[in-house]
Amino acid sequence: MDATAQVIPMPREQGATALRVVREGPGPDLVAAEFAAAEFLRAMGLALDTEGLRDTPRRMAAAYAELLTPRAFDLTTFANDEGYDELVLARGIPIRSVCEHHLLPFVGVAHVGYLPSERILGLSKLARVVELFAHGPQVQERLTKQIADWLADKLQPRGVGVVIEAEHLCMTLRGVQAVGARTLTSTLLGTLREDPRSRAEFLDLTGVGPR
């Protein structure tokens, strides 16, 4: 997806700010998607008049709508009144996305951290940002960078780090059929990229640093 999700200022209590984050563009047309799914399945030689497959086009349309459409959320930040300057890390955020080359899912976890500056982020929002960019046709490399760039732009921290570990069904169920293979990608910005000690701390805490 494009990294320009729509953000709308929302009223909040004193010291807190929030942006309503929603995906730009039209939502899914489930009626058209169901019709297209039925045509696709017939083209693949499947008979849709059996009990098991009769409702499959509707379920298929609903499933892909869920995979491709992120939920709107409030990106809530708070003043860093205590001057906290150590790493904030959310580790093992479940991630599911769809490979844009085959429209097959890839699943795994994201580790997202930042070094605060003037604002700190509600912790659940790190997972929301991951979902925002994961729900849509993606490649893992771009997804990793989009999450990091977006947090850097909205939060203005001293550093941002994102690591994603995922298994791609387009690689494990077809083609090379490398069952169990996982792909790891990372994006480090600011101090987490430039300072060797901060970089090593982040990678060690995510579990992907040197052993």
Give the sign of the dihedral formed by CA 128, CA 132, CA 135, CA 138.
Answer: negative
Residue 18 region, left (φ>0) first, then alpha (ψ -120 to 50), else beta? beta
Query: Is 13 labeled as catalytic in the residue annotation?
Result: no
Query: Is 111 labeled as catalytic in the residue annotation?
Result: no
Query: Is 140 labeled as catalytic in the residue annotation?
Result: yes
Query: Is 135 labeled as catalytic in the residue annotation?
Result: no
- In the set 131, 156, 167, 170, the catalytic residue is 170
- In the set 102, 131, 156, 167, the catalytic residue is 102
- In the set 6, 101, 118, 194, the catalytic residue is 101
- φ and ψ of 107, to 5 deg: -130, 150
- In the set 140, 146, 165, 201, the catalytic residue is 140
- In the set 6, 39, 66, 100, the catalytic residue is 100
Query: Is 168 labeled as catalytic in the residue annotation?
Result: yes
Cα separation, 81 vs 163, in Å, equals 28
Cα separation, 49 vs 70, in Å, equals 33
b/e code 181-197 from CB counts within 10 Å (16+ = b): eeeebbbbbbbbbebee
- In the set 34, 99, 135, 146, the catalytic residue is 99
**What's the token pair of residue 4?**
């320009």
Query: Is 101 labeled as catalytic in the residue annotation?
Result: yes
Intra-chain end-to-end CA distance of the chain, in Å: 35
- Give catalytic residues, as residue numbers: 99-102, 140, 168, 170
